[in-house]
Chain A
């Protein structure tokens, strides 16, 4: 093949640049398409066209950049989730400013909504549990509404979601919980988890059965968590300075901070954080993978060290009251690490070191949990079945099952027998199970244990 002239080389470089700017088309795709373009140019030149003509025809045959980008996006939707905001904004016809206004309004409504029980004469000072029980029911419908608006959810879906929140509100408020009831604490902890799936249904725009959209929702949840922690840190500093400033002039702002600033801020932050995730995804997008990469080997190391130490020393696991919950948290953390490294991974890439690390992490976490579970199983009759223990045990089993399956799929993938998508599907299939269990704890546990 004859080398191309500098003009054509320049034009090809420019074309490559245009392609690169498309989020859905990655560097290796550009290389593949460029090989195609150059092959086409040289074939056309052999058949008599001059260089310029050949280049123009080849580019034309390749298809328009928009069309190409759309086709790539359809296949590689994972690369494009950050573009969803921009795209849907364009189709809304509304400007960015309108959108921002809606977010600010929703945040204000959320901040006020959290104080709603005050209208019914329940003070936050003394009636905290009413506020805690209703936090999810008060704030999450607004977030769901926001996504329903952005994704233009159908009326039928809206009615179902509204019904879901209504039922949740009934279960949160109608049970006659006794004083300092354990099942009430469980209900407070599990209701937001169950309701988070209503947010998910709105987030995926109703296409709940699309596993790529579900994965997007998983990503969204993780990024929101990171943003929320950042906002909470900022809020803490704000609250501290508020107290410091006003007490310096002899006013005690404790009541304002405790009863207004913190709860209202926490509610509004859910909306603002979600909006930030949607609008500024590319900023944090790379953080979750970096964090998981950093901590996967470290956690694996700690688990292995724990296993070796406990075997070597022969010390039995000390069974304190909150031990099961601590091990649940540990499993949640590992599932999170697995989930987020999976969501950030290119499913087509070949297995590598970090995949082996993941498998080590999963295997060691399962072993650690097994040590704890064995200790608990041996003495469960001695403890008796309290609602806390059954809830914690159920969660432990669900997470353990999840990790065992993940480990199995990772092992298969590393041996080249299955694709990474199998693992993703397995992880995603668990989302409704988490929701179902949380709903079970909210609905079933209080009557089962007589509202203790």
Chain B
């Protein structure tokens, strides 16, 4: 499904942080994980992930270092920082409110 651009932009931060909270990862693996989690419904233009990662790096929510892939290519690995974990926690609380609110109204709407 094509998700609204603003919605993708808003949810990208908590999504990427949550995936990195599972462990160190890199761009392509993050995209694969998103596809896996959404059952393939979340269609991301792959390249758009990287500006998000760079922003998180600038905000020091994640740290990055260059390493090697299993085939010896240069690959940039990202890891969540302590600030990132705190930010993730905050976002999780905020999203819970959004989720609960929408859930409530939609449950009623479907009855009508």
Contact = CB atoms under 8 A, between A and B. Distances in A.
Question: Do chains A and B interact in one complex?
Answer: yes
Contacts of A43: 32
Interface in A51-75: 61-63, 67-68, 71-72, 74-75
Interface string A3-45: 0000000000000000000000000110111011011100100
Would you call the interface of chain A mostly helix, strand, loop, or mixed? helix
Nearest to A422: B60
Given A63-B46, A72-B50, A75-B51, A40 B58 contact: no
Contact of B27 (A32, A63, A68, A421): A32
A289 interface: no
A1 B58 contact: no
Interface string A118-157: 0000000000000000000000000000000000000000
Given A31-B74, A35-B75, A38-B73, A67 B26 contact: no
Contacts of B74: 31, 35
B102 to A, nearest CB: 28
A293 interface: no
Contacts of B39: none
B112 interface: no
Interface in A310-345: none
B33 to A, nearest CB: 13
Contact of A61 (B26, B45, B73): B45
A421 B47 CA distance: 25
Contacts of A67: 45, 47-48
Interface string A415-429: 000010100000000
A61 B75 contact: no
B47 A68 contact: yes
Nearest to B71: A1
A347 interface: yes
Given A72-B50, A419-B58, A32 B45 contact: no
Contact of A35 (B31, B32, B45, B73): B73
Contacts of B54: 29, 72, 75-76, 348
Contacts of A421: 58
A422 B83 CA distance: 15
Contacts of B76: 28, 31-32, 35
B87 interface: no
A116 to B, nearest CB: 48
A71 B48 contact: yes
Contacts of B95: none
B26 A71 contact: no
Contacts of A28: 76
Interface residues of A, number: 26
A39 B58 contact: no
A35 B69 contact: yes
Nearest to A350: B65
A347 B28 contact: no
B45 A36 contact: no
Contacts of B73: 35, 38
Contact of B55 (A33, A36, A39, A75): A75
B48 A68 contact: yes
Interface in B72-109: 73-76
B57 A29 contact: no
Given A35-B27, A35-B28, A39-B28, A62 B47 contact: yes
A40 B60 CA distance: 28
B28 A74 contact: no
A31 B50 CA distance: 12
Contact of B50 (A1, A33, A38, A348): A33
Nearest to B52: A75
A41 to B, nearest CB: 11
B30 to A, nearest CB: 10
20 contacts: A28-B76, A29-B50, A32-B75, A35-B27, A35-B69, A36-B28, A36-B46, A36-B47, A36-B50, A38-B73, A43-B32, A61-B45, A63-B46, A67-B47, A68-B47, A68-B48, A71-B47, A72-B50, A75-B54, A419-B60
Given A39-B28, A76-B54, 9 more contacts: A33-B50, A35-B69, A35-B73, A36-B27, A36-B46, A39-B69, A62-B47, A63-B48, A67-B48
Interface of B: 26-28, 31-32, 45-48, 50-52, 54-55, 57-58, 60, 69, 71, 73-76
